[in-house]
Structure 1
Amino acid sequence: MPDLAAADESAATFEAERPRLRALAYRMLGTLGDAEDAVQDTYLRWHRTDRSTVRTPQAWLVSACTRICIDRLRRVRTERAAYIGPWLPEPMIVETQDSPALDDTLSLAFLVVLERLSPSERAAWLLHEAFEHDYTEIARALDKSEAACRQLVSRARQHLKEARPRFAPDRAAADGLAGRFLQACVAHDRAALMDLLAFNAEAWTDGGGKVRSALNVIVGADRVMRFILGIMRKQPADLQLRPVRINGMPGLVGYVHGTPRHTFSLDIVDGRVAGVYIVRNPDKLRHLPPMA
């Protein structure tokens, strides 16, 4: 007869690690569906393995999930290369995480930067910097030497340093600046927007070829200001805006007849809005709750 107690213990072990595995998979893959699939594949491998040979279940699960994510990321990169317009991760309404290191890696702006890394660099950096694994654990997860993993983390750290600062702004200051920015958008206040935007600000819009959106990243404060005001003039009269935190950063969800039509989030660096991230692809909004 099956050992039901052992099966229950195995399932409990996995469920205890599920939130951490999901957090890792989302940061690796950028979409909730792919992340859930990776976690489910990890569970299937866990269910099929001889668990009596597993000394540290948590490390085994992280290693299995990491390898699955690397394989999946290599496949989806071809699809993203053919994506119509800028590709953005799926937005989540998330207040905060248990770990400040995880908070720093959740914003859409940071996930976009992670796309510059190779799958192995991305995995090594996340495991070391966000999930606080040592190089022995990372080497086991990636099936590489510790020296090779140190090189991967070093290269990833350099790429990220060149792309953007690591640390998130003070939450109260960011929320205050975001509030002023959104008020300026609604009021069509050109001067206020220019004062709040960084000189080299960027606007990203992800429509996925399914709804109208800019096909290229908009760069420069003046161009971003004009682009945003152009969007505001085209909004339907029955649009309702709900302030939320998108991936832990200030933002909002726009609803029409209770259905999410877009998310809007800000990347704030050195007291200015450095990035505006607008997701309009309906496939990436399906998981968001309707407006109550």
Structure 2
Amino acid sequence: MAADPAPRSSPAELAERYDALRPRLVGVAYAILGSRADAEDVVADTWLRLAGVAEPLDDLEAWAVVAVSRRALDVLRSARVRRETYVGPWLPEPVLGGLAAPGGPGGAGDGDDPADRVTLADEVHYALLVLLERLSPAERTAWVLHDVFGLTFDEVARVVGRTPAAVRQLASRARRHLAAERTRAPVDPAEHDAVVAAFAGASLQGDLAGLVAVLDPDVVLTGDGGGVVSSARRPVVGADRVARFLLGVLAKVDAAGRERVELVRVNGATGFAIVRPEGPDGGATTRVTGVVALTTAGGRVVRVDLVRNPAKLAGLRGLPT
């Protein structure tokens, strides 16, 4: 006798189950796209598609991960065309942890709705998202789904529309590309935080020599203003040039008198946000006007990524990672 089909969840039950999966689904889409806003849209579009599925689903999570990944891959392919005409370097949208000023908790991140959370895989730190931009959409998707989120090659094949053997080759090529770029060993969080503290001290004191000392001689700074906010149109290379550029940015922040620099978690690692107090009392709420992600190795900063494009910062409220 054939087994009875699985009962279909009520709309309310299905919505509750999907909402519970939402942080993971946004994390999958974000790793593929590098855009939190696009990832949110993909997950919302997939929910609309799920609401129209007539047959009951034995494994909602498996279906949703594949459906979200397919949609994200489609969006990534079209986004690559748009990014070719982007003004200046394109950087991924950062995801922030709860904003905290040095010396204590507080700020915009406290008490956020759990629905705003995104599950970031430990492997998907900010510098890696930058490197993923160098992969083809299919390579990136195959690597993210298999190596980060643990999908089988059969499952990934359903997403990219290729055979499992072809997907295995895509992931292998992606692995080789990333290995060639990621020549430095992972940094212990405590070591990273110590470097960030030294970087912050020198920067905020305007200490050019001290800042140069904490920067790797070959450090690279990439700025993303999107043609809307003034930023470096090309990467800035070298400790002295990067230090002078950063101190110039901070001087403008101080001169304005309406912004301040705060410690944040940028994709899980300590970095900085430039925030502007808003509201009738001049500080009831804050708006993020810049995010600085730091990559460290060997006790020095090797990469600085500065996101100033307002379109990439509009939704930042200090999201827990």
TM-score (norm 1): 0.89
Name stretches of at least 5 consecutive residues in structure 2 with no aligned partner: 1-6, 99-116, 279-286
1:117-128 aligned within 5 A: 117-128=135-146
Q: Percent identity?
A: 41
Judging changes above 3 Å, is the alpha-carbon distance between structure 1 residues 61 and 166 closer, same or farther for their aligned structure 2 residues?
farther
Matched, 1:236 2:239: no
Name stretches of at least 5 consecutive residues in structure 1 with no aligned partner: none
Write the letter of the residue equivalent to 1:253: A
Matched, 1:88 2:107: no
Distance in 2 between residues matched to 1:123 and 1:5, nearest whole Å:
30
Matched residue of 2:122: which SS? helix
TM-score (norm 2): 0.82
Distance in 2 between residues matched to 1:285 and 1:178, nearest whole Å:
22
Matched, 1:8 2:12: yes
Matched, 1:68 2:86: no
Q: Which has the larger helix fraction?
A: 1
Range that drifts further, 169-178 or 132-141: 132-141
Judging changes above 3 Å, is the alpha-carbon distance between structure 1 residues 282 and 139 closer, same or farther for their aligned structure 2 residues?
same
Distance in 1 between residues matched to 2:13 and 2:301, nearest whole Å:
48
Query: After TM superposition, which residue ranges in structure 1, 4 or more long, deviate above 4 angstroms?
Result: none
- Greater relative contact order (CA < 8 Å, ≥ 6 in sequence): 2
Write the letter of the residue equivalent to 2:72: C
Distance in 2 between residues matched to 1:198 and 1:130, nearest whole Å:
29
Matched, 1:49 2:49: no
Corresponding residue pairs, total: 284
The Cα of 1:212 is off from its aligned counterpart by 0.8
Range that drifts further, 186-195 or 268-277: 186-195
Write the letter of the residue equivalent to 1:25: A
Write the letter of the residue equivalent to 1:87: W
1:1-292 aligned within 5 A: 5-52=9-56, 54-94=57-97, 102-107=121-126, 109-165=127-183, 168-237=186-255, 238=257, 239-258=259-278, 259-289=287-317
Matched residue of 1:202: which SS? strand
Write the letter of the residue equivalent to 2:160: L
The Cα of 1:102 is off from its aligned counterpart by 1.1
CA contact (8 A) 1:104 1:167 kept: no
Judging changes above 3 Å, is the alpha-carbon distance between structure 1 residues 66 and 209 closer, same or farther for their aligned structure 2 residues?
same
CA contact (8 A) 1:128 1:135 kept: yes
The Cα of 1:167 is off from its aligned counterpart by 5.7
Write the letter of the residue equivalent to 2:150: E
CA contact (8 A) 1:104 1:166 kept: no
Write the letter of the residue equivalent to 1:70: L
Map Cα deviations across residues 65-99 of structure 1 (whole Å, 9 max, x no partner): 1110111011111111111111111122137x998
Distance in 1 between residues matched to 2:140 and 2:247, nearest whole Å:
36
Distance in 2 between residues matched to 1:263 and 1:17, nearest whole Å:
28
Write the letter of the residue equivalent to 2:94: P
Matched residue of 1:147: which SS? helix
Judging changes above 3 Å, is the alpha-carbon distance between structure 1 residues 98 and 36 closer, same or farther for their aligned structure 2 residues?
closer
Aligned residues: CA RMSD: 2.3
